[in-house]
């Protein structure tokens, strides 16, 4: 009965229902907070102000959101081509490796304005290359993309551990970390940029990557809906047979779309390595690749939706950290539960409330 026409105004569909989902999630989370004897109001207030309350909180929220925009866009692009790219984690990891290798090799030779674009290019290139292998296997050998991309996450982790422990580790370092890049090799921090124009904000990891993330979102939108290749990519995703009929070489499109997906994921590595940490170390992606899947699903695979979902996840990440800070009895595991509830209600149960709203609005208009 999918033929039943949807009778909901657009603002309800994209605005009211998601808002109600988040409210429901916070309601349930509030009950849990209540159960351990803390005030739910205080907890929610801390989460909200902790994520959006002042410049520094917003900076952290945006910093987390930057990663999620990249990985979310990566999943969304592949999804439009009918592919489920689970490998964002590994592609971001390898993208970061690309940046790191370039910086370790060049940071003392080239000026900063040259290093940044090189880093950008290498993050994208390495991420794309890491996605290209599963893409080729999918297109020409029929290996299922979900399986291969998952496996490539493990391969990426193993490769980087090997390189970090045996090759790239800084001499005398206790941790498996590379040396710090020369000062030229870093993206401008947002608080520095804002400081130059006279706006004073606290130190946060927010850096120029967020501008690149916004540009990537616009670029993905242009690409998918305003270029012939984007058209072909969506045609393959919606109906491979129609694509063949239209003379589209679907295998090439599959490879191209996954490479683009991998390149976008790789840019999350740029944010972490060239933007924030200025050195290579282990596990810098910290799950952003997997979160990107939820971000894309919640954002309905549209760049604007991905951007909004990334903000929500960034706020959850940051607000959750503040919560654990301010209320010691709420452990980090509890914070994960609260974050999980929000994801559950606004992602997995996104259509749960829909029928009720449809009835409500049908009655209202009928």
Partner 1 sequence: MRSIGLAIGLIAFAATAQGQELKPAVVFDMGGKFDKSFNEGVVNGVTRFTRDSGVAVADFEVTNETQFEQAHRRFAQRGQNPIIGVGFSQGNAVKKVAGEFPNIRFTLIDSVVELPNVQSVLFKEHEGSFLVGALAALASKTGKVGFVGGMDIPLIRRFQCGYEKGAKFVNPNVEVLANMTGTTPAAWNDPGRGGELAKGQFDRGADVIYAAAGGTGVGVYQAAKDRGRLAIGVDSNQNHLHPGTMLTSMVKRVDLAAYESFKAAKDGNWKSGIRVLGLKEGGVDWALDQHNEKLVTAAMKTRIDQTKADIVGGKIAVHDYMSNNACPN
Partner 2 sequence: MAALAAEPPAGIVPPAVSLIGIDKRFGAVHANRAVDLTIARGSIAGIVGENGAGKSTLMSILYGFYAADAGEIRIRGRPVSIRNSSDAIALGIGMVHQHFMLVDTFTVLENVMLGAEGGAVLAAGLRAGRATLERLERDYGLGVDPDALVGDLPVGAQQRVEILKALYRGAEILILDEPTGVLTPAETEQLFRILRTLKARGTTVILITHKLREIMAVTDRVVVMRAGAVVAERDTAATTIEELAELMVGRKVRLDFAIAPCRPGPVLLKAEHLRVRDGRGVVRLDEVSFELRAGEIVGVAGVSGNGQTELLEVLSGIRPLESGRLTVGDRVVTAEAPADPAAMRALGLAHVPEDRHRLGLVTAFAATESSVLGYQRDPAYVRGPFSDQPAMSRHCAGVMERYDVRPRDPKLRSAGFSGGNQQKLILGRELNREPKILLAGQPTRGLDIGAIEFVHRRLIERRDAGCAVLLVSVELEEILSLSDRILVMCGGRIAGQLDRAEADERKIGLLMAGAQGTAQAA
Q: Which residues are near partner 2 by CB under 8 A? A: 1, 4-5, 7, 222, 226-228, 230-232, 234-235, 238-239, 241-249, 366
Which of partner 2, partner 1, none interacts with 246 (beta carbon under 5 to 8 A by kind)? partner 2
> Which partner from the list partner 1, partner 2, none does 157 bind, CB cut-off 5 to 8 Å by kind?
partner 1
User: Of partner 2, partner 1, none, which one does residue 151 interact with (CB within 5 to 8 Å by kind)?
Assistant: none
Q: Is 299 helix (H, G, I), strand (E, B) or coil?
A: coil
CA angle 348/217/87 to nearest 5° reads 55
Q: Closer CB to partner 2, residue 82 or residue 98? A: 82
- Residue closer to partner 2, measured from CB, 179 or 251: 251
- Cα–Cα distance for residue pair 31/349, rounded to 1 Å: 19
Min separation Cβ 282 and partner 2, Å: 39
Q: How far is the CB of 239 from partner 2 (least distance, A)?
A: 5
Q: What is the residue whose two structure tokens read 């994921």?
A: 265
Decide which of partner 1, partner 2, none touches 5; Cβ closer than 5 to 8 Å per partner kind: partner 2
Task: Enumerate the β-bridge partners of residue 207.
Answer: 189
Q: Which residues bind partner 1 (CB under 8 A)?
A: 60, 157-158, 161-162, 165, 169, 171-177, 180, 202-203, 205, 272, 276-277, 279, 281-284, 286-287, 320-322, 324-325, 328, 331-332, 335-336
For residue 7, the partner it binds in partner 2, partner 1, none, with Cβ less than 5 to 8 A by kind, is partner 2
Q: How many residues does the chain have?
A: 366
CA-closest candidate to residue 327, choices 132, 81, 36, 93: 36
Report the candidate in 346, 338, 364 with the shortest Cα–Cα distance to residue 17. 346
Instruction: Give dist(CA 41, CA 182) in Å, integer.
Output: 46
Round to whole Å and give the CA distance between 127 and 264.
7
Toward partner 2, which CB reaches closer, 86 or 248? 248
* Per-residue tokens: 347: 């992602």
CA distance 178 to 21: 43
**Which of 13/177 has CB closer to partner 2?**
13
- Tell me how far, at minimum, the Cβ of 3 lies from partner 2, in Å: 9
Neighbours of 64 (CB within 10 A): 25
Distances (CA, A) of 101 to 107, 126, 189: 10, 11, 21
Residue 54 touches which member of partner 1, partner 2, none, C-beta under 5-8 Å by kind: none
Which tokens hold the place of 361?
């609005």
Residue 171 Cβ, how far from partner 1 at the closest point, in Å?
7
360: Cα within 13 Å, side-chain hemisphere:
11
* CB of 126 or CB of 281, closer to partner 1: 281
At closest approach, how far in Å is the CB of 229 from partner 1? 35
162 touches, from partner 1, partner 2, none (C-beta below 5 to 8 Å by class): partner 1
Contact partner at residue 281 from partner 2, partner 1, none, CB < 5 to 8 Å by partner kind: partner 1
Given the complex with partner 2, which of 183 and 228 has the nearer CB atom?
A: 228
Nearer to partner 1 among residue 219 and residue 340 (C-beta): 340
CB of 215 to partner 2, least distance (A): 16
CB-based contacts of 358, cutoff 8 Å, min separation 6 = 6, 7, 8
To partner 1, the closest distance from the beta carbon of 172 in angstroms equals 7
Buried b / exposed e over 140-174, threshold 16 CB at 10 Å, is eeeeebeebbeebbebbbebbeebbeeebbbeeee
- Count the neighbouring beta carbons within 10 Å of the beta carbon of residue 354: 14
298 close to 346: Cβ distance less than 8 angstroms: yes
Tell me how far, at minimum, the Cβ of 142 lies from partner 2, in Å: 12
């Amino acid at each position: 009965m999918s033929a039943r026409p949807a009778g909901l105004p657009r603002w309800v569909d994209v605005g009211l229902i998601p808002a109600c989902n988040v409210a429901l999630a916070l309601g349930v989370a509030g009950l849990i907070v209540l159960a351990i004897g803390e005030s739910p109001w205080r907890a929610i207030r801390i989460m909200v102000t902790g994520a959006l309350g002042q410049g520094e909180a917003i900076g952290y929220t945006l910093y987390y959101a930057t990663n999620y925009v990249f990985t979310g866009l990566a999943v969304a692009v592949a999804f439009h081509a009918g592919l489920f790219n689970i490998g964002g984690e590994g592609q971001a990891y390898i993208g970061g490796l690309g940046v790191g290798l370039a910086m370790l090799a060049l940071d003392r030779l080239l000026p900063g304005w040259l290093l940044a674009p090189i880093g950008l290019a290498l993050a994208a290139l390495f991420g794309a290359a890491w996605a290209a292998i599963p893409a080729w296997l999918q297109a020409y050998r029929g290996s299922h993309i979900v399986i291969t991309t998952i496996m490539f996450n493990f391969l990426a982790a193993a490769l980087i551990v090997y390189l970090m422990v045996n090759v790239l580790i800084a001499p005398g370092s206790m941790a498996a970390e590379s040396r710090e890049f020369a000062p030229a090799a870093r993206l401008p921090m947002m608080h520095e940029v804002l400081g130059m124009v006279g706006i004073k904000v606290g130190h946060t990891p927010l850096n120029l990557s967020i501008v690149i993330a916004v540009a990537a979102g616009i670029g993905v939108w242009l690409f998918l809906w305003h270029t012939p290749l984007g058209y072909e990519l969506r045609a393959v995703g919606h109906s491979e047979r129609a694509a063949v009929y239209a003379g589209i070489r679907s295998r090439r499109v599959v490879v191209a779309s996954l490479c683009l997906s991998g390149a976008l994921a790789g840019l999350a590595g740029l944010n972490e390595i060239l933007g924030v940490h200025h050195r290579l170390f282990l596990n810098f992606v910290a799950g952003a690749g997997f979160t990107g899947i939820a971000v894309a699903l919640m954002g309905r695979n549209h760049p604007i939706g991905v951007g909004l979902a990334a903000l929500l996840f960034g706020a959850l990440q940051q607000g959750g950290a503040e919560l654990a800070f301010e209320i010691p009895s709420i452990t980090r595991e509890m914070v994960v539960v609260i974050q999980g509830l929000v994801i559950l209600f606004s992602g997995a149960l996104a259509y749960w409330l829909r029928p009720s709203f449809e009835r409500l609005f049908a009655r209202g208009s009928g």
